[in-house]
A and B are shown apart, each in its own frame.
Chain A
């Protein structure tokens, strides 16, 4: 990054925001981040963000959960101490499997759900006492904010272009961290 300067461009409508994002991308300006008070349908596609792989994670976690359940019950009920409990056949795992299915199912769901959620927290860096990163408090209520990399662009031309996209407010931020 050539300069640490970013532009905070505020919009007050999600339709205008969407159009602005598309225009910025078509002019090859770099969008660092977009802040919205609620999910804007199709924004990720307009920004060209890659598809999430969280579902693939969840599938793998589910398989892990299924294996844990199977190995655990096979060891406890069949190998370690195969007792006759109410006449249930404990000679092999398969013979007594129907009785294990509820636990296999629940552990699959449990692992898939919880590990996926934790993965989400880690990837999005969310945890208690984390300092909120909010460039403008209004973006949690009714404003939309695009953070544009000022880079080496002509600021006047860029501002003019941004106002034309329907921006209600533009501010230049000198950001040391980005330098």
Chain B
């Protein structure tokens, strides 16, 4: 908590200064780009011809190809560069905000799954999970505000001039139009938070209940929430991430983001559990519970890799110009972290968490958890940054401050959520089984 508060204060102090700094960097970069670089002529190649037949606007194509290296000195390019640089603090805030929001959201989903599946091992961890989801309300509202106010910084389809000359975006405007998009975003946030509110309420009511009514309510809400979530998670991924590159689409994209969400959430549950146990607040949690969490971390890490690779290989293999631009940008401009992320998110968990004995050693799980979380931060970074700032990315003060700020807020909210009630739930029908859980 103390560390979180320090981070929070530091984050508050550093966020505004870095925004100014970002504009300074922007100015210096502008000078740099404006002078030295060679002008290269834009050639219409095969890909462009194909695209034009499909209805891409000239402007959209120019932006897609604008990787900064072949910078030409005309005003249009500089406008584009400036735009991407102005987007940078927005993106930095969004990456960090979404990263922590998705942990709370993923925890909520995991909680709902455990409830709906009537899991016998996890009820002792329900208070921990509920504590983590305490961040969901502020977190999701902040994320919603960021995507609303980022507007054209993130979402080219909100630029009416661009849409007016782009046949593809016009065709998509039935879905990608601002009012509908706004309503969807608000629906997600309200829906998720409603479940969190009633789940927590019923879970606490269970402590004093004479009968099973709160439990049955919780069970029913969890089932409804899971159905609601699987739909809203898909559309959320399309709305907030895929529409950053509105010419590109991928079918398993939403699922892939879900894998990132759930693995980070399970990891955080494990880390929080270990921390609370270390300070003696969770004596009824044994190493078999930790073992199960570590197994979920391991399994979902592999699941994430599967989806990542499934998306990557299909696009790489067919190499259709429409689709492959997404990965070309990421491989060319983000190479070390793009492939480094695979090692962090796949190879490390595989090697560290394979052994059954290691999964019971708390510091081992924490190390693996920190690695996984870093990996999935990079994952979200790579979802957002290439689509919004293109080649002008860096991990500087802005990104770090945003990360620290939301980390501080996250720890503060989770700490408040945990501190409110006893960490030992009562009267859950599976509680006794859970306390004696042994693997």
Task: Decide if A59 touches B354 in the complex (CB within 8 Å).
Answer: yes
Task: Decide if A98 touches B356 in the complex (CB within 8 Å).
Answer: no
Residues of B within 8 A of A59 (CB): 354
CB of A72 closer than 8 Å to a CB of B: no
Instruction: Flag the segment in B49-57, B182-190, B310-318, B402-410 that touches A.
Output: B310-318
Task: Flag A48-92 by CB within 8 Å of B: 1 or 0 each.
Answer: 000000010001000000000000000000000000000100000
In Å, the complex CA distance between A55 and B316 comes to 35
Task: Flag A96-108 by CB within 8 Å of B: 1 or 0 each.
Answer: 0011010000000
Residues of B within 8 A of A87 (CB): 319
Partner of A99, one of B317, B354, B356: B317
Task: Decide if B312 touches A98 in the complex (CB within 8 Å).
Answer: yes
Task: Flag B352-384 by CB within 8 Å of A: 1 or 0 each.
Answer: 001010000000000000000000000000000
CB of B309 closer than 8 Å to a CB of A: yes
Residues of A within 8 A of B312 (CB): 98
Task: Decide if A98 touches B317 in the complex (CB within 8 Å).
Answer: yes
Task: Decide if A101 touches B313 in the complex (CB within 8 Å).
Answer: yes
Residues of A within 8 A of B309 (CB): 98, 101
Q: Which residues of A101-133 are within 8 A (CB) of B?
A: 101
In Å, the complex CA distance between A55 and B356 comes to 10
Residue on B nearest A41 in the bound complex, by CB: B438
Say which size band chain A's interface belongs to: under 10
A contacts with B: majority SS = helix
Residues of B within 8 A of A101 (CB): 309, 313
Residues of A within 8 A of B319 (CB): 87
Q: Report the minimal beta-carbon distance from B317 to chain A, rounded to whole angstroms.
A: 6
In Å, the complex CA distance between A124 and B170 comes to 68
In Å, the complex CA distance between A55 and B317 comes to 35
Residues of B within 8 A of A55 (CB): 356
Task: Flag B14-36 by CB within 8 Å of A: 1 or 0 each.
Answer: 00000000000000000000000
Residues of A within 8 A of B317 (CB): 98-99
Residue on B nearest A88 in the bound complex, by CB: B317
Q: Report the minimal beta-carbon distance from A128 to chain B, rounded to whole angstroms.
A: 32
In Å, the complex CA distance between A1 and B317 comes to 67
Task: Decide if B313 touches A98 in the complex (CB within 8 Å).
Answer: yes
Task: Decide if A98 touches B316 in the complex (CB within 8 Å).
Answer: yes
Residue on B nearest A59 in the bound complex, by CB: B354
Q: Report the minimal beta-carbon distance from B438 to chain A, rounded to whole angstroms.
A: 10
Q: Report the minimal beta-carbon distance from B358 to chain A, rounded to whole angstroms.
A: 12
Residue on A nearest B357 in the bound complex, by CB: A51
Q: Which residues of B281-324 are within 8 A (CB) of A?
A: 309, 312-313, 316-317, 319
In Å, the complex CA distance between A101 and B316 comes to 13
Residue on A nearest B356 in the bound complex, by CB: A55
Q: Report the minimal beta-carbon distance from A91 to chain B, rounded to whole angstroms.
A: 15
Residues of A within 8 A of B316 (CB): 98
Residues of A within 8 A of B354 (CB): 59
Residues of B within 8 A of A98 (CB): 309, 312-313, 316-317
Residues of A within 8 A of B356 (CB): 55
Residue on A nearest B314 in the bound complex, by CB: A98
Q: Report the minimal beta-carbon distance from B132 to chain A, rounded to whole angstroms.
A: 32
Which of A59, A87, A98 has most chain B Cβ within 10 Å?
A98
Residues of B within 8 A of A99 (CB): 313, 317
Q: Report the minimal beta-carbon distance from A69 to chain B, rounded to whole angstroms.
A: 16
Q: Report the minimal beta-carbon distance from A60 to chain B, rounded to whole angstroms.
A: 12
In Å, the complex CA distance between A119 and B217 comes to 50
Q: Which residues of B113-131 are within 8 A (CB) of A?
A: none
Q: Report the minimal beta-carbon distance from A58 to chain B, rounded to whole angstroms.
A: 10
Q: Report the minimal beta-carbon distance from B82 to chain A, rounded to whole angstroms.
A: 36
In Å, the complex CA distance between A99 and B312 comes to 11
In Å, the complex CA distance between A152 and B109 comes to 63
In Å, the complex CA distance between A176 and B178 comes to 89
In Å, the complex CA distance between A63 and B67 comes to 40
Residue on A nearest B316 in the bound complex, by CB: A98
Q: Report the minimal beta-carbon distance from B49 to chain A, rounded to whole angstroms.
A: 19
Q: Report the minimal beta-carbon distance from A40 to chain B, rounded to whole angstroms.
A: 15
In Å, the complex CA distance between A87 and B319 comes to 10
Q: Report the minimal beta-carbon distance from B27 to chain A, rounded to whole angstroms.
A: 40
List 9 additional contacts besides A59-B354, A98-B312, A98-B313; criterion CB under 8 Å. Answer: A55-B356, A87-B319, A98-B309, A98-B316, A98-B317, A99-B313, A99-B317, A101-B309, A101-B313
Task: Kindly list the 10 A-B residue pairs having the minimum CB-CB distance in the complex, ordered from nearest.
Answer: A98-B313, A98-B316, A99-B317, A101-B309, A98-B317, A101-B313, A98-B312, A59-B354, A55-B356, A87-B319
Interface residue ranges, A against B (CB under 8 Å): 55, 59, 87, 98-99, 101
Interface residue ranges, B against A (CB under 8 Å): 309, 312-313, 316-317, 319, 354, 356
Provide 10 A-B residue pairs closer than 8 Å at the C-beta atoms, listed in order of the A residue. A55-B356, A59-B354, A87-B319, A98-B309, A98-B312, A98-B313, A98-B316, A98-B317, A99-B313, A101-B313
